[in-house]
Structures are given as structure tokens and as C-alpha cells.
Amino acid sequence: VAEVLFYFNMLIHGEDRALALISEYGPPHTDLLQSSFQTVFTCDTSLKLIEVSVICSVVAMVPHKFPGIDGTLFYMIEHPGLDV
């Protein structure tokens, strides 16, 4: 699970490639993951460059402060906006 920061095209070895710079979410907090039915992940700051073609799905990672846990965590919403 990652956040796309931006998309761009780049010429690599004479071939035009569609790329995305992403910020990966870190491993989930084990207790919250279980009690939230596999939806709460903590955020990491690692950046990665990937090809757009490997993106499988769109989700929303919504920030939330949970009681008893320091820092802001995120919960995942699959297919945001498709229930309208």
C-alpha cells in the first residue's frame, strides 16, 4: 500500500516509460490491524519509483488519531467514491 506523489513520463534507453513516485506505508500495527478488520496501517516515509502499470488498485488512506496510541495512523478505504 502506497501513496502516489506524482506521475510522469521518462525516456529510458530510448523507450518512453510511465512512472510514479510513491511513498510506501509501513507495516501495520498488529493489534490495530486485527481489531480494525485488516484496515489500519501506520505511515512510513520510504520513497520508491515504480512503473504505472504495476498499480493494482486505488484506495484512500484516511488519517486518524486513535485513543492510547501516539501519532497519527491511517485507515484504508477501498474504492473511494464509488458508493455514490
Task: Give residue-wise pLDDT tens across range 40-74.
Answer: 665 556 889 999 999 988 788 888 887 887 877 77
Predicted TM-score (pTM) of the model is: 0.61
State how far Cα 66 lies from the chain centre: 19
Look at residue 13 and give its three-state secondary structure. coil
Question: Is residue 81 exposed (0-12), middle (13-18) or buried (19+ Cβ within 10 Å)?
Answer: exposed
